[in-house]
Amino acid sequence: MKRVARPWLWPLVPFYWAVTELKRRLVRWGWLGQRWLKQPVISVGSCSAGGAGKTPVVLLLAEALGRRGFAVRILTRGYGRESKAVERVDPAGDAKWYGDEPMLLAQRSGGKVYVGADRYEAGSLAEREAAGEGGVVHVLDDGFQHRKLGRDVDIVLLTREDTEDALLPAGNLRESLGALREADVIVLREEELEWTGAFVARLGGPATVWVVRRALRFDEAVPGRPVVFCGTARPKDFTAMLAGVGCRAVETIAFADHHAYGEEDLTRLVEDATAVGADGFVTTEKDAVKLTAEMRRRLEEVGPVAVARLEVELVDDGAAVDGMIARMRSMERRGRVKV
Protein backbone atom coordinates (compact mmCIF):
# COMPACT_ATOMS: atom_id res chain seq x y z
CA MET A 1 0.00 0.00 0.00
CA LYS A 2 1.28 3.47 -0.91
CA ARG A 3 2.15 5.81 1.94
CA VAL A 4 0.51 9.11 1.06
CA ALA A 5 1.77 11.99 3.21
CA ARG A 6 -0.61 14.55 1.65
CA PRO A 7 -3.68 12.66 0.38
CA TRP A 8 -5.54 15.85 -0.52
CA LEU A 9 -2.94 16.42 -3.27
CA TRP A 10 -3.40 12.99 -4.85
CA PRO A 11 -5.34 14.41 -7.88
CA LEU A 12 -2.19 16.32 -8.90
CA VAL A 13 0.04 13.23 -8.98
CA PRO A 14 -0.78 12.25 -12.63
CA PHE A 15 0.25 15.72 -13.82
CA TYR A 16 3.53 15.53 -11.87
CA TRP A 17 4.18 12.04 -13.27
CA ALA A 18 3.56 13.27 -16.84
CA VAL A 19 6.06 16.12 -16.50
CA THR A 20 8.82 13.98 -14.98
CA GLU A 21 8.27 11.16 -17.47
CA LEU A 22 8.42 13.57 -20.40
CA LYS A 23 11.68 15.01 -19.13
CA ARG A 24 13.19 11.53 -18.78
CA ARG A 25 12.18 10.60 -22.31
CA LEU A 26 13.51 13.83 -23.80
CA VAL A 27 16.91 13.05 -22.27
CA ARG A 28 16.77 9.45 -23.50
CA TRP A 29 15.89 10.56 -27.03
CA GLY A 30 18.62 13.19 -27.04
CA TRP A 31 16.21 16.11 -27.35
CA LEU A 32 17.14 17.67 -24.03
CA GLY A 33 20.78 18.66 -24.34
CA GLN A 34 23.25 17.42 -21.77
CA ARG A 35 26.61 19.01 -21.10
CA TRP A 36 29.60 16.80 -20.37
CA LEU A 37 32.61 17.65 -18.29
CA LYS A 38 36.07 16.68 -19.49
CA GLN A 39 36.58 14.26 -16.60
CA PRO A 40 34.32 11.32 -15.65
CA VAL A 41 31.20 11.91 -13.56
CA ILE A 42 29.71 9.42 -11.11
CA SER A 43 26.24 10.43 -9.93
CA VAL A 44 24.77 9.41 -6.57
CA GLY A 45 21.04 9.99 -6.26
CA SER A 46 17.65 8.64 -5.32
CA CYS A 47 14.03 8.82 -6.40
CA SER A 48 12.96 10.29 -3.04
CA ALA A 49 13.01 13.90 -1.92
CA GLY A 50 15.37 13.15 0.97
CA GLY A 51 16.51 10.78 3.65
CA ALA A 52 17.76 7.92 1.49
CA GLY A 53 21.32 8.27 2.82
CA LYS A 54 23.13 9.73 -0.19
CA THR A 55 25.76 11.71 1.75
CA PRO A 56 27.34 8.65 3.46
CA VAL A 57 27.50 6.89 0.08
CA VAL A 58 29.19 9.91 -1.50
CA LEU A 59 31.75 9.81 1.32
CA LEU A 60 32.22 6.06 0.84
CA LEU A 61 32.89 6.53 -2.89
CA ALA A 62 35.27 9.44 -2.29
CA GLU A 63 37.30 7.31 0.10
CA ALA A 64 37.26 4.22 -2.14
CA LEU A 65 38.28 6.18 -5.24
CA GLY A 66 40.95 8.04 -3.28
CA ARG A 67 42.48 4.72 -2.19
CA ARG A 68 42.72 3.77 -5.85
CA GLY A 69 44.64 6.91 -6.76
CA PHE A 70 41.87 9.13 -8.11
CA ALA A 71 41.58 12.83 -7.29
CA VAL A 72 37.94 13.18 -6.26
CA ARG A 73 35.95 16.38 -6.79
CA ILE A 74 32.49 16.39 -5.19
CA LEU A 75 29.81 18.48 -6.91
CA THR A 76 26.71 19.43 -4.93
CA ARG A 77 23.90 21.96 -5.00
CA GLY A 78 24.14 23.23 -1.43
CA TYR A 79 20.45 23.25 -0.60
CA GLY A 80 19.34 26.20 1.55
CA ARG A 81 22.71 27.98 1.50
CA GLU A 82 23.03 31.75 1.71
CA SER A 83 25.53 32.00 -1.14
CA LYS A 84 24.28 31.72 -4.69
CA ALA A 85 27.76 31.61 -6.22
CA VAL A 86 29.52 28.65 -7.79
CA GLU A 87 32.50 28.11 -5.50
CA ARG A 88 34.72 25.70 -3.61
CA VAL A 89 33.70 24.93 -0.05
CA ASP A 90 36.03 26.01 2.72
CA PRO A 91 35.81 23.23 5.36
CA ALA A 92 36.56 25.83 8.05
CA GLY A 93 33.84 28.15 6.74
CA ASP A 94 30.21 28.79 7.65
CA ALA A 95 27.65 26.06 6.99
CA LYS A 96 24.98 28.72 6.44
CA TRP A 97 27.01 30.10 3.54
CA TYR A 98 27.77 26.81 1.80
CA GLY A 99 24.95 24.54 3.06
CA ASP A 100 25.01 21.81 5.70
CA GLU A 101 25.70 18.82 3.46
CA PRO A 102 28.49 20.52 1.43
CA MET A 103 30.16 21.50 4.71
CA LEU A 104 29.86 17.95 6.05
CA LEU A 105 31.26 16.53 2.80
CA ALA A 106 34.18 18.98 2.85
CA GLN A 107 35.04 18.15 6.46
CA ARG A 108 34.62 14.40 6.22
CA SER A 109 35.87 13.58 2.72
CA GLY A 110 39.17 15.44 2.96
CA GLY A 111 38.66 16.24 -0.72
CA LYS A 112 37.54 19.30 -2.63
CA VAL A 113 33.82 20.09 -2.70
CA TYR A 114 32.19 22.52 -5.13
CA VAL A 115 28.72 24.01 -4.77
CA GLY A 116 26.48 25.37 -7.48
CA ALA A 117 22.87 25.14 -8.61
CA ASP A 118 24.34 24.40 -12.05
CA ARG A 119 26.51 21.37 -11.41
CA TYR A 120 28.17 21.70 -14.84
CA GLU A 121 29.49 25.12 -13.82
CA ALA A 122 30.63 23.70 -10.48
CA GLY A 123 32.44 20.90 -12.31
CA SER A 124 33.98 23.32 -14.78
CA LEU A 125 35.39 25.34 -11.88
CA ALA A 126 36.77 22.14 -10.36
CA GLU A 127 38.45 21.26 -13.65
CA ARG A 128 39.96 24.72 -14.07
CA GLU A 129 41.43 24.49 -10.59
CA ALA A 130 42.72 20.98 -11.33
CA ALA A 131 44.27 21.93 -14.68
CA GLY A 132 47.13 19.56 -15.45
CA GLU A 133 46.20 17.17 -12.67
CA GLY A 134 45.56 13.57 -13.73
CA GLY A 135 43.05 11.03 -12.47
CA VAL A 136 40.26 13.50 -11.62
CA VAL A 137 36.80 12.00 -11.05
CA HIS A 138 33.69 14.01 -10.21
CA VAL A 139 31.18 12.58 -7.74
CA LEU A 140 27.82 14.27 -8.29
CA ASP A 141 25.80 14.46 -5.07
CA ASP A 142 22.01 14.05 -5.47
CA GLY A 143 22.35 13.93 -9.23
CA PHE A 144 19.70 11.49 -10.47
CA GLN A 145 17.25 14.29 -11.35
CA HIS A 146 19.97 16.72 -12.50
CA ARG A 147 20.02 15.44 -16.07
CA LYS A 148 21.50 18.59 -17.55
CA LEU A 149 24.90 17.18 -16.60
CA GLY A 150 25.96 14.00 -18.36
CA ARG A 151 27.27 11.19 -16.19
CA ASP A 152 29.28 8.05 -16.85
CA VAL A 153 27.81 6.03 -13.98
CA ASP A 154 24.38 6.51 -12.36
CA ILE A 155 24.18 5.16 -8.80
CA VAL A 156 20.71 5.29 -7.22
CA LEU A 157 19.77 4.49 -3.62
CA LEU A 158 16.55 2.65 -2.82
CA THR A 159 14.99 2.13 0.61
CA ARG A 160 11.97 0.14 1.71
CA GLU A 161 10.23 3.41 2.57
CA ASP A 162 10.68 4.49 -1.07
CA THR A 163 8.92 1.35 -2.34
CA GLU A 164 5.90 2.19 -0.16
CA ASP A 165 5.84 5.89 -1.05
CA ALA A 166 3.90 7.86 -3.65
CA LEU A 167 4.91 10.55 -6.11
CA LEU A 168 4.98 14.22 -5.24
CA PRO A 169 3.02 16.19 -4.32
CA ALA A 170 1.01 13.56 -2.43
CA GLY A 171 4.05 11.53 -1.39
CA ASN A 172 7.79 12.19 -1.33
CA LEU A 173 9.03 10.55 -4.53
CA ARG A 174 10.51 12.94 -7.07
CA GLU A 175 9.90 10.46 -9.85
CA SER A 176 8.44 7.04 -10.48
CA LEU A 177 10.45 4.05 -9.28
CA GLY A 178 10.34 2.85 -12.88
CA ALA A 179 13.20 5.30 -13.44
CA LEU A 180 15.43 2.83 -11.57
CA ARG A 181 15.58 0.79 -14.80
CA GLU A 182 17.89 3.52 -16.13
CA ALA A 183 20.32 3.23 -13.21
CA ASP A 184 23.70 1.55 -13.60
CA VAL A 185 23.88 0.66 -9.89
CA ILE A 186 21.10 0.36 -7.30
CA VAL A 187 22.20 0.59 -3.66
CA LEU A 188 20.19 -1.34 -1.05
CA ARG A 189 20.49 -1.45 2.74
CA GLU A 190 21.53 -4.79 4.16
CA GLU A 191 18.79 -4.79 6.81
CA GLU A 192 16.12 -4.22 4.11
CA LEU A 193 17.56 -6.52 1.48
CA GLU A 194 14.88 -9.21 1.63
CA TRP A 195 12.19 -6.65 0.78
CA THR A 196 14.03 -4.26 -1.55
CA GLY A 197 15.95 -7.03 -3.31
CA ALA A 198 12.68 -8.69 -4.28
CA PHE A 199 11.33 -5.33 -5.45
CA VAL A 200 14.35 -4.72 -7.71
CA ALA A 201 14.06 -8.25 -9.12
CA ARG A 202 10.41 -7.63 -10.05
CA LEU A 203 11.27 -4.25 -11.51
CA GLY A 204 13.86 -5.67 -13.89
CA GLY A 205 16.52 -3.65 -15.65
CA PRO A 206 20.28 -3.98 -16.18
CA ALA A 207 21.48 -2.35 -12.95
CA THR A 208 24.07 -3.95 -10.71
CA VAL A 209 22.99 -4.20 -7.07
CA TRP A 210 25.22 -2.98 -4.27
CA VAL A 211 24.45 -3.80 -0.65
CA VAL A 212 25.57 -1.43 2.10
CA ARG A 213 25.89 -2.02 5.82
CA ARG A 214 25.11 1.01 7.99
CA ALA A 215 26.36 1.84 11.48
CA LEU A 216 26.34 4.80 13.86
CA ARG A 217 29.63 5.87 15.42
CA PHE A 218 30.36 8.33 18.24
CA ASP A 219 33.67 10.07 18.88
CA GLU A 220 32.64 11.06 22.38
CA ALA A 221 30.75 9.62 25.34
CA VAL A 222 26.99 9.46 24.86
CA PRO A 223 24.80 10.98 27.60
CA GLY A 224 22.69 8.52 29.55
CA ARG A 225 19.52 10.64 29.36
CA PRO A 226 19.85 12.67 26.16
CA VAL A 227 17.50 14.93 24.28
CA VAL A 228 17.83 13.92 20.63
CA PHE A 229 17.36 16.65 18.04
CA CYS A 230 17.77 16.60 14.27
CA GLY A 231 16.74 18.35 11.09
CA THR A 232 16.52 15.45 8.64
CA ALA A 233 14.00 14.20 6.11
CA ARG A 234 13.42 10.96 8.05
CA PRO A 235 13.89 11.60 11.79
CA LYS A 236 12.33 8.24 12.72
CA ASP A 237 15.13 6.52 10.81
CA PHE A 238 17.69 8.30 12.97
CA THR A 239 15.98 7.58 16.30
CA ALA A 240 15.51 3.91 15.34
CA MET A 241 19.24 3.57 14.63
CA LEU A 242 20.03 5.26 17.94
CA ALA A 243 17.77 2.80 19.77
CA GLY A 244 19.58 -0.01 17.97
CA VAL A 245 22.87 1.00 19.61
CA GLY A 246 21.27 1.44 23.03
CA CYS A 247 20.82 5.21 22.94
CA ARG A 248 17.28 6.01 24.07
CA ALA A 249 16.12 9.60 24.18
CA VAL A 250 14.16 11.11 27.04
CA GLU A 251 12.77 13.44 24.39
CA THR A 252 13.12 13.81 20.62
CA ILE A 253 12.79 17.15 18.84
CA ALA A 254 12.54 16.96 15.05
CA PHE A 255 13.09 20.07 12.94
CA ALA A 256 12.53 20.41 9.20
CA ASP A 257 15.17 19.00 6.86
CA HIS A 258 18.13 21.41 6.46
CA HIS A 259 16.82 23.50 9.37
CA ALA A 260 18.95 26.58 10.15
CA TYR A 261 19.30 26.86 13.92
CA GLY A 262 18.65 30.17 15.66
CA GLU A 263 18.42 31.55 19.17
CA GLU A 264 14.81 30.45 19.63
CA ASP A 265 15.77 26.86 18.80
CA LEU A 266 18.61 26.87 21.32
CA THR A 267 16.32 28.28 24.01
CA ARG A 268 13.75 25.58 23.28
CA LEU A 269 16.33 22.80 23.41
CA VAL A 270 17.83 23.99 26.70
CA GLU A 271 14.44 24.55 28.35
CA ASP A 272 13.04 21.20 27.21
CA ALA A 273 16.19 19.35 28.30
CA THR A 274 16.05 20.99 31.72
CA ALA A 275 12.35 20.19 32.11
CA VAL A 276 12.81 16.45 31.45
CA GLY A 277 16.02 16.12 33.46
CA ALA A 278 18.26 15.38 30.47
CA ASP A 279 22.02 15.21 30.93
CA GLY A 280 23.03 16.16 27.37
CA PHE A 281 22.15 16.00 23.71
CA VAL A 282 22.57 13.72 20.70
CA THR A 283 22.35 15.00 17.14
CA THR A 284 23.45 14.18 13.60
CA GLU A 285 26.61 15.29 11.83
CA LYS A 286 24.54 17.32 9.39
CA ASP A 287 23.04 19.26 12.29
CA ALA A 288 26.31 19.55 14.21
CA VAL A 289 28.08 21.43 11.40
CA LYS A 290 25.46 24.19 11.73
CA LEU A 291 26.08 24.74 15.45
CA THR A 292 28.39 27.65 16.13
CA ALA A 293 30.82 27.61 19.06
CA GLU A 294 28.41 29.80 21.03
CA MET A 295 25.50 27.46 20.27
CA ARG A 296 27.54 24.48 21.45
CA ARG A 297 28.49 26.34 24.61
CA ARG A 298 24.83 27.02 25.44
CA LEU A 299 23.85 23.39 24.93
CA GLU A 300 26.79 22.17 26.99
CA GLU A 301 25.41 24.05 29.99
CA VAL A 302 22.96 21.12 30.15
CA GLY A 303 25.52 18.45 29.28
CA PRO A 304 27.74 17.15 26.46
CA VAL A 305 26.61 17.18 22.83
CA ALA A 306 27.29 13.79 21.24
CA VAL A 307 27.38 13.67 17.45
CA ALA A 308 26.23 10.45 15.76
CA ARG A 309 28.22 9.77 12.62
CA LEU A 310 26.47 7.54 10.07
CA GLU A 311 28.95 5.34 8.24
CA VAL A 312 28.30 2.86 5.46
CA GLU A 313 30.42 0.13 3.97
CA LEU A 314 29.91 -1.99 0.90
CA VAL A 315 29.34 -5.64 1.64
CA ASP A 316 31.58 -6.47 -1.34
CA ASP A 317 33.73 -3.36 -1.63
CA GLY A 318 36.38 -4.59 -4.04
CA ALA A 319 34.14 -6.08 -6.70
CA ALA A 320 31.63 -3.23 -6.52
CA VAL A 321 34.06 -0.33 -6.85
CA ASP A 322 36.28 -2.05 -9.41
CA GLY A 323 33.22 -2.84 -11.52
CA MET A 324 32.15 0.81 -11.37
CA ILE A 325 35.61 1.97 -12.43
CA ALA A 326 35.59 -0.49 -15.33
CA ARG A 327 32.26 0.91 -16.53
CA MET A 328 33.55 4.47 -16.17
CA ARG A 329 36.60 3.65 -18.30
CA SER A 330 34.51 1.87 -20.92
CA MET A 331 32.43 5.03 -21.28
CA GLU A 332 35.63 7.01 -21.82
CA ARG A 333 36.78 4.59 -24.48
CA ARG A 334 33.47 4.81 -26.32
CA GLY A 335 33.59 8.59 -26.12
CA ARG A 336 30.97 10.76 -24.48
CA VAL A 337 28.65 13.02 -26.41
CA LYS A 338 29.41 16.66 -25.71
CA VAL A 339 27.13 19.55 -26.55
Domains of the chain: 7-213+313-334 (3.40.50.300), 222-303 (3.40.50.2300)
State the Rg of the chain over Cα: 20
Write the DSSP string, 101-133: HHHHHHHHH-SEEEE-SSHHHHHHHHHHHTTT-
Query: Do 155 and 183 form a contact (C-beta atoms < 8 A)?
Result: yes
Query: Do 188 and 197 form a contact (C-beta atoms < 8 A)?
Result: yes
Q: What is the pLDDT along the chain (339 residues), one digit of tens a residue?
A: 566 789 999 999 999 999 999 988 888 887 777 899 999 999 999 999 888 999 999 999 999 999 999 999 999 999 889 999 999 999 999 999 999 999 999 999 988 999 999 999 999 999 999 988 889 999 999 999 888 899 999 999 999 999 999 999 999 999 999 999 999 999 999 999 999 999 999 999 899 999 999 999 998 899 999 999 999 999 999 999 999 999 999 999 999 999 999 999 999 999 999 999 999 999 999 999 999 999 999 999 999 999 999 999 999 888 899 999 998 888 765 555 432
Write the DSSP string, 223-292: PSSEEEEE--S-HHHHHHHHHHTT---SEEEEPPTTPPP-HHHHHHHHHHHHHTT--EEEEEHHHHTT--
Nearest-angstrom CA–CA distance, 297 and 292: 9
- The pTM (predicted TM-score) of the whole model is 0.93
